Amino acid sequence: MAATRRTSQRVTLLMLVLASVTVLTLDYRGEVSHGIGHIRNGARDVLAPLQRGIAAALHPVGDLFAGAARYGSVQAQNQQLQTSIGELRRKMSEYAAEQQQLRQIAALDKVTFVSNIKMVDAEVLSAPTSNFRDTFELDRGTSSGVAVGEPVVGSNGLVGTVTSAGRSTATVQLITDTRSSVDIRLGANASGFGVVTGRGLGERLNLQLVSGSPNAKETVYTAGTVAAGAGAYPAGLPVGTVSSVHSSPGGFSKTATVTPLANLDSLQYVGVLLWLPSA
Amino acid sequence: MSGLGWARLAIVVVVGVVAQVSVLDQLVVLGAHPDLMVLLAAAAGLAGGPQSGAMVGFTVGLVADLFVDTPFGLSSLTFVIVGYAVGLLRSIPAGRELGSAQVAACVVTGAAGTLLYAVLGALAGQSGMLGHDTANAVLVVMVGSLVLAPIALACLRWVFSGGRARAGYPVPSGGSATA
């Protein structure tokens, strides 16, 4: 009795194992596998709505468990994400910087006020490194034709003058440098003349008028005359706009402040004018 | 197993597979989730003996195979063996069918079944079945079984009590309950 039952158990086991193996084998055959795939898809489709509903209700619970168990890996993932965010930010700022460069270079190409003077494009290597000198380094030197005394312009206006030049680098003194002075004329029609001197980086320029009376927002241009002991510039380079006018009672001349047109705080590309005052 | 037993089994399997697919599969720990289906096969062996265990294991396995991406028939092959083996366990010692012992048996066979599944899958030519993930899966199924085994046992007792009103449980004689 027990023996026959045991035999029947084994027969059942054998049959079921064989059935499973048969199904398993069939699944490896192309056409049958295709049919099984259909059945599987059907079964999953049937269960899907139910599954979705239950999942929607229970997901927070599952997330809680999973989150607690995966705390370490979540932390690692967080770290990774932070790293890639930083990288992306860096790339974005690089991209923005490149765009800025492109804009500056493109703007230099359109500098209209020096149409008849040859110009060398140069990149700013370093911002002012001293607190007392508004100078910066360029990546062009004498090998490119840059020489001491040549004017340097940005896309909007005068930047400064070359004060020293090596073979492949040059030092430029900004018009905001306290040692700088530029002879100017008021407006396009030269309604007055004066001298613009620097007061330090980030400061407005000081305008001492010799003649004429400035109006606010009037543009001042280089006069083309050579001031004693100062840099020389070709006439007609835009320098800045008059921002405020002071008249001292009893004084002979008027003074004003001038805002430089070139964006001296964030220079990246400038043009060196291959122009020297004829001695 | 009576017609009522099969009907009850159908209910248990459908509810079980829904719970597995929509709830348990979401509880991923160490890259693995608990497995109720293998426990149904193990509980069938404990509640119904080797023959019933093999039959229920085959059925549960076929249904489970619908929702996994391993070869069709792999789960049923595994669960047939699990159900049968656990059924044999039941018949060894008489008078020892304590609830906790049954739960322990379910937990152990759940883990063994998971390992068997991986081995059979590897034998069937499936790549990535055996690896360091396997150990994680066995561990997670074991831990999950501590909670799920009593539920599976209760369900399968209910299934096998279908044909034997008032028969109750346990049946310590060691034979199949589906005579």
Nearest-Cα residue of chain A relative to residue B57: A16
Which residue range is the domain that position B38 belongs to? 3-89+98-160
Residues B177, A73: Cα–Cα separation, whole Å = 48
Q: Cβ of B16 under 8 Å from any chain A Cβ?
A: no
Whether B8 is in a domain gets the answer: yes
Whether B43 is in a domain gets the answer: yes
Please state the pTM of the whole predicted model: 0.49
pLDDT at site B60: 92
Cross-chain residue pair B74–A47, CB shorter than 8 Å: no
Q: Cβ of B92 under 8 Å from any chain A Cβ?
A: no
* pLDDT tens profile A177-190: 877 889 888 887 78
Among B30, B80, B124, the residue with its CB nearest the CB of A17 is B80
Residues B106, A244: Cα–Cα separation, whole Å = 91
End-to-end CA distance of chain B: 8
Cross-chain residue pair B67–A43, CB shorter than 8 Å: yes
| CATH number of the domain bearing residue B125 | 1.10.1760
Residue A242's φ and ψ, nearest 5 degrees, are -70, 125
Residues B72, A39: Cα–Cα separation, whole Å = 11
Nearest-Cα residue of chain B relative to residue A64: B27
Q: Kindly list the distances between the CA atom of residue B2 and the CA atoms of B7, B10, B165, in Å, as whole numbers in the listed order.
A: 9, 12, 11
* pLDDT tens profile B69-117: 678 888 899 999 999 998 887 765 545 556 778 888 888 888 898 889 8
A-to-B residue pairs, Cβ atoms closer than 8 angstroms:
104
Q: Which one has a higher pLDDT value, B82 or A163? A: B82
Q: Kindly list the distances between the CA atom of residue A31 and the CA atoms of A28, A35, A36, in Å, as whole numbers in the listed order.
A: 9, 7, 9
Residue B138's φ and ψ, nearest 5 degrees, are -60, -45
Pick the CATH number of A111-279 from 1.10.3470.10, 1.20.120.350, 2.40.10.340, 3.40.640.10: 2.40.10.340
Q: Which residues of B touch A28 (CB under 8 A)?
A: 71
Nearest-Cα residue of chain B relative to residue A61: B27
Q: How many domains does chain B have?
A: 1
Ramachandran region, residue A31 (left: φ > 0; alpha: ψ -120 to 50; beta: rest):
alpha
Q: For chain A, what are the domain ranges?
A: 2-63, 70-108, 111-279
* pLDDT tens profile A19-46: 888 888 887 777 777 788 778 777 777 7
> What is the interface pTM, i.e. ipTM, of the complex?
0.75
Residues A77, A75: Cα–Cα separation, whole Å = 5
Residues B52, B72: Cα–Cα separation, whole Å = 22
Q: Kindly list the distances between the CA atom of residue A133 and the CA atoms of A197, A225, B107, B167, in Å, as whole numbers in the listed order.
A: 14, 25, 80, 103
pLDDT at site A44: 72
